[in-house]
Chains A and B, each alone.
Chain A
Amino acid sequence: MIKKWISSAVVAATSILGTTFAQAEKEGGTLVMIVQPEPPSLASFVSTSGPIGLMAPKIYEGLLDYDKDLKAVPALAKSWDVSEDGKTVTFNLNKGVKWHDGEPFTSADVQFSIMNVLSKVHPRGPNSFKEVTSIDTPDDHTAVFNLANPAPYMMRALSAYESPMVPKHLLEGQDIKSSDIANKPVGTGPFKFVEWKKGQYIRLDKNEDYWKEGLPYLDRIVGRFIPDASTRTAAMENGEVHYGAYGAIPNVDVVRLRELDSIGVTTDGYAMINPVSLIEFNTTVEPFNNPAIRKAISLTLDRQFLIDNIWFGYGKPATSALSSSYSATGLYAEGMPNYPGRPNVEAANKLLDEAGFKPDADGVRAKATLDLIPYGEDWRRTGEYMKQALGDVGIELDLRYEDVPSWLKRVYADYDFGMNVNYFYQLPDPVLGVHRHYSSDQIRQGTHFVNSSRYKNPKLDGLMADASKEPDAKKRSAAYKEIQEILADDMPVVNLHEMKFLTVFNSKLKGHELSGLGAYGSFERTWFDE
């Protein structure tokens, strides 16, 4: 009897040990990931373009990183402290960190990165660091941020992707936007830049002197450019590439690939980005200067139909101006009007009748042109659905699908549009991702992805300004509830759905999902189980 116990204990022990061994990370291997399209440069401190975000955070590091629950975890800063009044933030930096060229990383680099680079030339940096008045460097391993007002959102914008720390000794005195390291980056991260073969690949090799002991596991990361979506799918199926994120493999193919044992699919890793599809209205022209028609459109559209039929079930209907993923920080408010669970054509017709949009002999109440973001077939199909659905309530649409530069110029420089389907990253805080859409100081002609609706509401402006400085979580939630109520009632922008991007990966690849940034993470703990 006892013998039996012992043997079963041994069996249990071996199986436990066995699993731990099976889970032990193995070193070596080359990860080939899809990077599409080919990035314009690798200067993540100047551009937040998606393909740059895939490669640069493996090379550069941020002060902080974020885990899967978006909780801040140490990166270049090993600890940090926010003062009582929220106006002083002290970062204690790790010691022994070196740039890839061998120079030591110090607090002077932090000061330079934030004050001279990110808050000057980064597209979102001036907003993220707008309250930072100065940075003190009492010693090489301490950086003290002095703020004019509390900036709770700033603490969510310190990742390698959003705010990379760059080498002062290579950038100082240079024109930052055209410096040599734009194409040949030098960072502190787990991988070093080796080679960029235009039209083919970018190669990064393991940083043998990485300051985190024993990391990274991979020998090499290669980012490959494959223009054709079907070929990308075939290369993934064939095992030639191991990782593709941000829709590199189209949803229509994922539905087939996810059945294979050799391939895994996840929607994790996009919470920091928080993408939401939406319609921007030009609130200065007929008929969209009337909120009734904007609300009627929101009431008519069947968001679940869009998700099921165009996005293959990946997504969630939008229910407010803020994405429901803000519920983790308590900023999302439930039960907003004009965001129905099911389409309500009756209510839409009633609204239009009351607002004086009378149907003519053909049942047409209003005519407009719908512009579509030229990022692929899915958007074109979204437009086709909307044309049909809105036709049912007498809004006749013409669809317009141009190339990217023409479309950007039309919507953000010429304001020559009526309604425009688009998607925005809401980012981990509304101050970073949502305010730019509605605030009247974000009516910036010629600047992309800001308030193209030209919506002006002084009350909303005030609420948003207060909310961005509010350190108290409860008061901040209350402020955002009011903001969402105003926006649900006025609807300068109608949100369509919370997008779920897909990451497709080879099942042998492990540990790529550990960061809250997903594909924009460092991949230092990524490894091959083979």
Chain B
Amino acid sequence: MAAAEFTTPELKEFPAIPALRPDAMAESKPYVASDKINAAIGFPGELVPDWEAKAIGRLGELLKKYRSLKVYLDSCVHCGACTDKCHYFLGTSDPKNMPVARQDLLRGVYRRHFTLAGKLFPKLVGATELTREVLDDWYKYYNQCSECRRCSVFCPYGIDTAEITMAGREILDSIGYGQKYSNEIIGKVHKIGNNLGLPGPALEDTLQGLEEDVKEDTGVDVKFPMDVQGAEVLLVTPSADFFAEPHIDSLIGYAKVFHAAGVSWTLSSKASEAGNFGMFIGNYDQLRRIALRIREAALELGVKRIVVGECGHAWRVAYSFWNTLTGVGAGATDPFAIELQKQLDHRYKQPAHICEVTWDLIQQGALKFDKEANDHRIVTFHDSCNVARASRMGDAPGGQFEIPRSIIKAVANKYVEMAPGTTHEATFCCGGGGGLLTDELLELRVKGALPRMEALKQVVDRDGVNFMATICAICKAQFTKVLPYYKFNRGMVGGVHQLVSTAIKLGSND
């Protein structure tokens, strides 16, 4: 489409640190949000005239609000451990995509205005003024970080680089210089209820079609209920699950699990989106407002459990932030949160990941599978960054790694791991996370996928892998798009619950 021509990197047999190519990605940036898009979510419409003072002021506010940000900006010693850990650096060779260099775009300005040494001797301590050039670099390079936090795993100080990217984007939004993709989506989630902009009647029509399809395929009346008062489970899932392929096959999988286990469940037309792009842009107010829709829906429907579908960052928000944001999980103290606490059934995890639900049911013997139904697939698992490094599942450390794998092994006979150092907590981002899954960033997305594609190629060549399972809507959409650039079939990516859907035996409850 509009994207410029570029060359897909070659897949090497062994990963190598690329030779630097300064400014290789200096032209890569997302479209700037229009005044209309910004106004709809309460941001300044366009770059404000006094942007320099406003940006520094906002940085000061963030430093006061988030002690973590100050610690991260202060404590880097430039040891270089992070430099070769970022998929965007490995794929693009642009030195500003070394995590330390990307952070230093903000750190330099921080030093100039918020540290004594930087105020007195800026040149000695790498302090920089916020010039228009620096501001544009923020816009370009904070939109070349997917907030995946792989570099943080290798940082001896534990600097959470995603926090710095989020702060950078929040400052940009506060002066009217935010990106279109995320801000347009946030507007839609408030106005229509989901990131896609799928109105209730379309959702209903789609779900009805799915009931017909599953009936045709299996002969069983599997329901896809919406807005059912008094259902036990409220399932909140990314709206891509209603719309895109292969996402929709996992939605069918969730429905079959609930059906086979005899659990009453419902979707909500109000909270028809698990995703929360408020986190991507580092805006607490948006993060909270988007999360509150789910509480409202849960209170209205009177559900006992809240379950989150296959969406990586939604699970981070749910697992790590919903407690204080909404009262799903203990922590929030406002009356509605307390009411929700009373309503939910605390014999179950609140919230629960769909993989936790399915795995619990498998262990109880409540689900039966025909594993041979997946015999045409040789499966590997791509850990999604926000699940791997920002959340957990189950009761044991590492549950977020083991539970999805255990499900796969329970429903399929052939499973292969990708190389150590590319999975689990060291997993490589798909290349499209963190609010970068937009067409104008295609070059960045293709190049950022390089490390994952290299690891995938190894198991394709060695073991004949033909299916890469994942539990994130962004990963699914990103791989569907970029796999063909590396000569893989786009159909080889799919959801864990797509595998469940293929193998699950229905009918025992009919």
Q: Do A and B come from one complex?
A: no
